[in-house]
Amino acid sequence: MSVDLSNVRNIGISAHIDSGKTTLTERILFYTDRIHAIHDVRGKDGVGAKMDSMELERERGITIQSAATYCNWKGNNINIIDTPGHVDFTVEVERALRVLDGAVLILCSVGGVQSQSITVNRQMDRYNVPRISFINKCDRTGANPERVTRQLQDKLGLNAHMLQLPIGLENDLAGVVDLVTMKALYFDGDNGEIIREEEIPAELQDAADAKREELLDAVSMFSDDLMEAMLEETEITSDMVKAAVRAGTLALEFSPVFIGSAYKNKAVQPLLDAVEYYLPCPTDVENIGLDLDKNEEEFPVSNNDDDPLVMLAFKLEDGRYGQLTYVRTYQGRLTKGDTIYNVRTGKKVKVGRLVRMHSDDMEDIDSCGSGDIVALFGVDCASGDTFTDGKITCSMSSMHIPEPVISLAILPVDNKAQINMSKALNRFTKEDPTFKTFVDHETNETIISGMGELHLEVYVERMKREYNAEVEVGAPQVAYRETISARAEFNYTHKKQTGGSGQFGRVAGYMEPLEEGEYEFEDKIVGGAIPREFISSCDKGFAKSLAKGTLCGSPVTGVRCVINDGSFHAVDSSDVAFQLAAAGAFREGYAKAKPKIMEPIMKVAVEGPSEFQGSVMGSINQRRGMIIGTTEEGNYTVVEAEVPLSEMFGYSTALRSLTQGKAEFTMEFASFKPVPKSVSEELVKKYQDEKKEK
């Protein structure tokens, strides 16, 4: 049976950490009858929020993995992905936004637009996701939704306007005035489930009239009907306003703002109505696929159930019953028992079980259609893979995956832990493309790398809890890189004659810095100085050499290797000989190409009371940070800076003690920059000492 796509909403919930995303989702599930009791995020009642199904999430009160759920509100099927707010888990947010049609940006009515809200907003911009904002926690002391709306305009550049006015604030928050219907809404019952509609309180009438006027002015440009009604001073209906707000929102030119308090059960239902009215259904959004049969020509997916199937796997999870693959269907229909085709691997797989996810619970379904978000069982694939029914060869565009910036060595405590650790690592690397692992052959240590301390900490903890893999953890290490800063020539001959067949190969050319990209190889050999069959051996030899630079043993990036001469031996030249010759040539050229060490620089934002501004800036300065600037608003200041990651270890403790725990910071990767000379010398010395010890 086909579902009317105009009644489907695929939405994400994103925000700065601790803005109340999970609490809000919990209320949404309650009001849509998906759960029958409300539980606390931090699990004080021993249950924990539905969407934070992971034990760790409940303990820490943060969302680590995005969880998908489904609910029905007034006949609309809403697929919701509750996404993490911490930047270390940014890939979860990215993945969710890639497959969603609309989003709800949640803000704290006191904290306002915080650094992570800016990041999330940027991510939404990147994927052209229409969004509505919900200013949560209006019951808190200091709540000021008007100020937050101004911040949405100033800091995020959104054409944001409130569609509601609060009736009371802080402890007196009683309800909201709907500026579209011009009615006051109150939320009665034990859990705010009974909505009482009344006339606007007299003392708020003037403010409501003025705000509505402001709203109409802002949205009139999106609707000719509304504009006409305003000019001709005829009746302006709620439907006219809603249509104008919807048009502006879908065009990404308007962002409606709603207010309430999820924790106090105030004004969550109007937000659900807003999801229906103002956020797009799958057919409102154009999603682009790449036709691999036509040289990756872009085409819009049809959203039509009758067309060939196209779906994207955007998240993998190791469920209780095996691998669970979350997919978004862009066109076509999938029925249990169908055979689907993984475009990347070319493998066919039969879909044995199809489920709709409700956090860690699931419901078996027989089929799903265009625009749906469901999960498959027993489908082996990687995150980001495209599936079709084989009638079409296309791929959905790839996702933006940031490079890991931090690594640490882990050592299993015994044999059993070793086996379990391998299983865990295998699973985690499949699930999360920002989490990487490898074995350092010199030290024989297993190294894991990711986006931040918390990111790796969570995986180590998951290893223990989910896989019973007890590991010892080394100190976090910064993922340095090496690169070259000058052009250098090489001319290296690899010659070995120690019994049996010999090895011979000469490789000459030059290497130079590459502005963009990690590595490039160019063959400028003329006259067969190196036979064709050995050119790829040279490429391989150079590429292998990039794994470990000579300065501090970090990977080498930003190098272009060009070969223009060489020589070979009819008998002794081989693939191996030329690989070794290229490796030797690389060593020779690298030493002359003024190599340097690059370190990850983080964009750091510290937010806190203005009285601590001086101490905060001092602490950043001590950490080799470059302060970009400060933003002062009343008694609250944000200091933005670029700081080397290596200097940020332990910063949360230092900041707490500097500011009496009143400031907080977030950081995200900004770029790689050369380390200062003194640091470089230290790193080189440390690497040399380590090598001597081995």
Partner 1 sequence: MGKEDLVSNNPLRALGLEKEDGNDGRRVGLVMARAGLGKTAILVQIAMDSMLRENKVLHVAIGEGLEKTKTWYDDILSLMNHQDKSIGSYQQIVDEVMQNRMIMTFKENSFSVATLEERMEDLSQQGIFKADCLVIDGFDFAGAGSAAALGELKSFMKQNDLKMIWFSAVSHRDDNRVSANGVPAPCHEVDDIFDTVLLISPEKDEIRLKTLKCSEACSVDAGKSLSLDPATMLIKKA
Which residues are annotated as part of the binding site for GTP? 15-22, 82-86, 136-139
Closest distance of CB 129 from partner 1, Å: 20
Closest distance of CB 159 from partner 1, Å: 15
Question: Which of 667, 513, 518, 686 minimizes the C-alpha distance to 600?
Answer: 667
Cα 603 to Cα 606: distance, rounded to the nearest angstrom = 10
Helix (H) / strand (E) element for 97: namely helix 90-99
Pairing of strands 394-396, 339-342: unpaired
Closest distance of CB 414 from partner 1, Å: 48
Closest distance of CB 248 from partner 1, Å: 22
**Cβ closest to partner 1, residue 210 vs residue 628:** 628
Tokens of 506: 């000469």
**Cβ closest to partner 1, residue 123 vs residue 342:** 123
Closest distance of CB 615 from partner 1, Å: 9
Q: What phi, psi does 104 have (nearest 5°)?
A: -110, 120
CA atoms within 13 A on the CB side of 197: 7
Max Cα separation, the chain?
A: 102
Q: Rounding to the nearest 10 degrees, give the CA dihedral for residues 336, 342, 348, 353.
A: -20
**Cβ closest to partner 1, residue 416 vs residue 673:** 673
Tokens of 562: 């060009």
617-625 long-range contacts (CB < 8 A, ≥24 apart) are 619/651, 619/654, 619/655, 619/658, 623/647, 623/648, 623/651, 624/676
Helix (H) / strand (E) element for 408: namely strand 406-412
- Binding residue numbers: 15-22, 82-86, 136-139
The answer to whether 23 and 41 have CB atoms below 8 angstroms apart is yes
Site of interaction with partner 1 (CB under 8 A): 118, 154-155, 157, 613-614, 617-618, 621, 626-634, 638, 640, 673
Non-local (6+) Cβ contacts of 674 within 8 A are: 596, 597, 598, 599, 680
Tokens of 644: 């080397």
Tokens of 364: 């078996």
Closest distance of CB 519 from partner 1, Å: 19
**Cβ closest to partner 1, residue 75 vs residue 629:** 629
Q: Rounding to the nearest 10 degrees, give the CA dihedral for residues 233, 239, 245, 249.
A: -150
H helices of 432-558, in order, are 453-467, 535-545
Tokens of 360: 């860690």
Closest distance of CB 397 from partner 1, Å: 27
Which residues are paired to 492 by β-bridges?
A: 507
**Cβ closest to partner 1, residue 155 vs residue 246:** 155
**Cβ closest to partner 1, residue 7 vs residue 615:** 615
**Cβ closest to partner 1, residue 155 vs residue 506:** 155
Closest distance of CB 140 from partner 1, Å: 21
**Cβ closest to partner 1, residue 142 vs residue 352:** 142
Q: What phi, psi does 77 have (nearest 5°)?
A: -85, 120
**Cβ closest to partner 1, residue 673 vs residue 685:** 673
Question: Which of 107, 136, 172, 138 minimizes the C-alpha distance to 27?
Answer: 136
Closest distance of CB 492 from partner 1, Å: 28
